[in-house]
Amino acid sequence: MTGTRAEIRRLAAARARRLVVVRVLVVLVALTGLNYLVWRWTSSVSWPAWWIAVPLVLAETYSLVDTLLFGATMWRIKDRGNPPTAPRDATVDVFITTYDEPVELVMRTARAALDIRYPHRTWLLDDGARPELRAQAEAADVGYLTRGADWQDHERHAKAGNLNNALGATDGDFILVLDADQVPAPTILDRTLGYFTDPQVALVQTPQLFSNVPHADPLGSQAPLFYGPIQQGKDGWGAAFFCGSNAVLRREALMQLGIVGYVREVDRSVRSALRAADRVLARAGRTPEARRPEVAAALADVREAVRAAQGQLTQGEPLADVTYAFQRRVDAAARGMVSQDVDRLRADLLEVARLGIDVGDAAEPADEPADVVLDDAALDRLAHRDWSPLGALESVRTLVRAVDIDRSDEAQPVMPMATISVTEDMATSMRLHGLGWRSVYHHETLALGLAPEDLGTMLTQRLRWAQGTMQVFLRENPLLQRGMRLGQRLMYVATMWSYLSGFAAVVYLAAPVVFLCFGVLPVTAFSVDFFARLVPFLLLNQLLFLVVGRGLATWRGEQYSLALFPVWIRACVTAFANVVLGRPLGFTVTPKTRPAPGRPQWHRIRPQLVALAVLVLAAVVGTVRLFVADAAPVGTAVNVAWVGYDLAVMSVVITAARYRGHVPQEEAV
Partner 1 sequence: MDVEVEYPHEGAVVVRPAGRLNMVAAPALREVVDRVVAEGRTHVVLDLGATTFVDSSGLGALIAGLKTARAAGGDLRVAAVPAQVLAVLSLTNLDRVLRPYPTVADALA
- Tell which one of 60, 404, 425, 476 touches partner 1 (CB under 8 A): 404
Three-state DSSP state, 331 = helix
Measure Cα distances from 49 to 37, 365, 379, 512, 618 in Å: 18, 88, 77, 13, 19
Minimum gap (Å) between residue 291 Cβ and partner 1: 32
- Our CB check for partner 1 shows the closer of 258 and 566 to be 258
Under the criterion CB under 8 A, does residue 258 sit at the interface with partner 1? yes
Which amino acid appears at position 441 of this protein? Answer: Y
- Our CB check for partner 1 shows the closer of 138 and 252 to be 252
Under the criterion CB under 8 A, does residue 347 sit at the interface with partner 1? no
Task: Give the 3-state secondary structure percentages of the chain, helix then strand then coil, rounded to 5.
Answer: 60, 5, 30
Part in contact with partner 1 (CB under 8 A); list of ranges 311-319, 478-486, 539-547, 630-638? 311-319
Under the criterion CB under 8 A, does residue 409 sit at the interface with partner 1? no
- Tell which one of 62, 75, 99, 324 touches partner 1 (CB under 8 A): 324
- Tell which one of 68, 125, 405, 564 touches partner 1 (CB under 8 A): 405
Under the criterion CB under 8 A, does residue 319 sit at the interface with partner 1? yes
The sign one gets for the Cα dihedral 613, 614, 619, 621 is: positive
Minimum gap (Å) between residue 171 Cβ and partner 1: 4
In sequence order, what are the residues at sequence separation of 6 or more whose Cβ sits closer than 8 angstroms to the Cβ of residue 457?
A: 590, 591
Under the criterion CB under 8 A, does residue 414 sit at the interface with partner 1? yes
Three-state DSSP state, 591 = coil
Under the criterion CB under 8 A, does residue 266 sit at the interface with partner 1? yes
Under the criterion CB under 8 A, does residue 174 sit at the interface with partner 1? no
- Our CB check for partner 1 shows the closer of 144 and 262 to be 262
Under the criterion CB under 8 A, does residue 538 sit at the interface with partner 1? no
Part in contact with partner 1 (CB under 8 A); list of ranges 194-202, 253-261, 462-470, 482-490? 253-261
- Our CB check for partner 1 shows the closer of 171 and 364 to be 171
Part in contact with partner 1 (CB under 8 A); list of ranges 235-243, 249-257, 440-448, 604-612? 249-257
Identify whether the C-beta of residue 646 lies closer than 8 Å to the C-beta of residue 512.
Answer: yes
Which of positions 470-489 make contact with partner 1 (CB under 8 A)?
Answer: none
Under the criterion CB under 8 A, does residue 282 sit at the interface with partner 1? no
- DSSP assignment, residue 230? I
Minimum gap (Å) between residue 321 Cβ and partner 1: 5
- Our CB check for partner 1 shows the closer of 166 and 563 to be 166
Under the criterion CB under 8 A, does residue 431 sit at the interface with partner 1? no
Number of residues that bind partner 1 (CB under 8 A): 27
How far apart, in whole angstroms, are the C-alpha atoms of residue 173 and residue 165? 16
Q: Are strands 209-210 and 183-184 parallel, antiparallel or unpaired?
A: unpaired
Under the criterion CB under 8 A, does residue 263 sit at the interface with partner 1? yes
* Helical axes 486-498 vs 50-75, angle rounded to 10°: 130
Under the criterion CB under 8 A, does residue 378 sit at the interface with partner 1? no
Cross-sheet strand order for the sheet of 201-205:
143-145, 121-126, 92-98, 174-179, 247-250, 201-205, 438-441
Minimum gap (Å) between residue 279 Cβ and partner 1: 24
Part in contact with partner 1 (CB under 8 A); list of ranges 302-310, 339-347, 400-408, 596-604? 400-408
For the CA atoms of 460, 462, 465, 469, the dihedral, rounded to the nearest 10 degrees, stands at: -120
Under the criterion CB under 8 A, does residue 280 sit at the interface with partner 1? no
Under the criterion CB under 8 A, does residue 255 sit at the interface with partner 1? yes
For the CA atoms of 193, 199, 203, 206, the dihedral, rounded to the nearest 10 degrees, stands at: -40
664 burial type by CB count under 10 A (0-12 exposed, 13-18 middle, 19+ buried): exposed
Measure Cα distances from 542 to 162, 499, 548, 558, 565 in Å: 42, 20, 10, 11, 21
Part in contact with partner 1 (CB under 8 A); list of ranges 230-238, 280-288, 402-410, 470-478? 402-410
Part in contact with partner 1 (CB under 8 A); list of ranges 28-36, 256-264, 451-459, 632-640? 256-264
Strand segments, DSSP code E, in 381-430 are: none
Where does 221-356 have alpha helices with state H? 231-236, 251-284, 293-314, 319-355
Measure Cα distances from 608 to 401, 455, 567, 611, 653 in Å: 52, 13, 10, 5, 8
Counting every residue written for the chain, the total comes to: 669
- Our CB check for partner 1 shows the closer of 271 and 660 to be 271
- Tell which one of 256, 398, 461, 524 touches partner 1 (CB under 8 A): 256
In sequence order, what are the residues at sequence separation of 6 or more whose Cβ sits closer than 8 angstroms to the Cβ of residue 275?
A: none
CA nearest neighbour of 223 among 240, 206, 243, 209: 209
- Our CB check for partner 1 shows the closer of 174 and 508 to be 174
Contact positions vs partner 1 (CB under 8 A) = 171, 173, 251-252, 255-256, 258-260, 262-264, 266-267, 316-321, 324, 404-407, 413-414
